[in-house]
Structure 1
Amino acid sequence: MKANETNARIKAAQINNALGFFIITFGVIILFAMIFTETFLQHMADMVAGLLLITIGGGMMWKAKSTIKKLTLNNTDDNK
């Protein structure tokens, strides 16, 4: 793989990592907002939405970190 392609994929993974962090933060805010709801149905809807966002954000961060690790490892092997 060319260096330009590798750098572009690393940059995209870094963006996905930041976006995953934002989504996790938004999920935590929704879980916190669950305290202020009145009915059981609202509690469950907020809990499901918050946990779903946290799961998606965590998956994005995990995938991005593994991609960055793989690409930087391959990049250093190519330079030897």
Structure 2
Amino acid sequence: MKSGIHPSYRPVVFRDKVGGLAFLTRSTATGASTVEWEDGTTYPVVDVEISSASHPFYTGQSRVLDTAGRVEQFRRRYGDRH
């Protein structure tokens, strides 16, 4: 590998804002804030919007879509042709 062209690969904490899940891994991502981890060491934090702790597929919670509005829009546009 060429020296000086690769980003630093170091331990980083990824934290889900909604689900409350946090895990320590190695990454090239950088975070603006830091957190003290369970081992007493301070690591940079990268906040993520969604993870397995908050994703509907993994949690079993489904979201309600406005299907009635879409059906009515389709009928207005194309009518009830048979």
- Per the TM superposition, whether the score is higher than 0.5 is no
Structure with the largest fraction of helix: 1
| Interval of TM-score (by shorter of Structure 1 and Structure 2) | under 0.3
Q: Which has the larger radius of gyration?
A: 2
Q: Which has the higher strand share?
A: 2
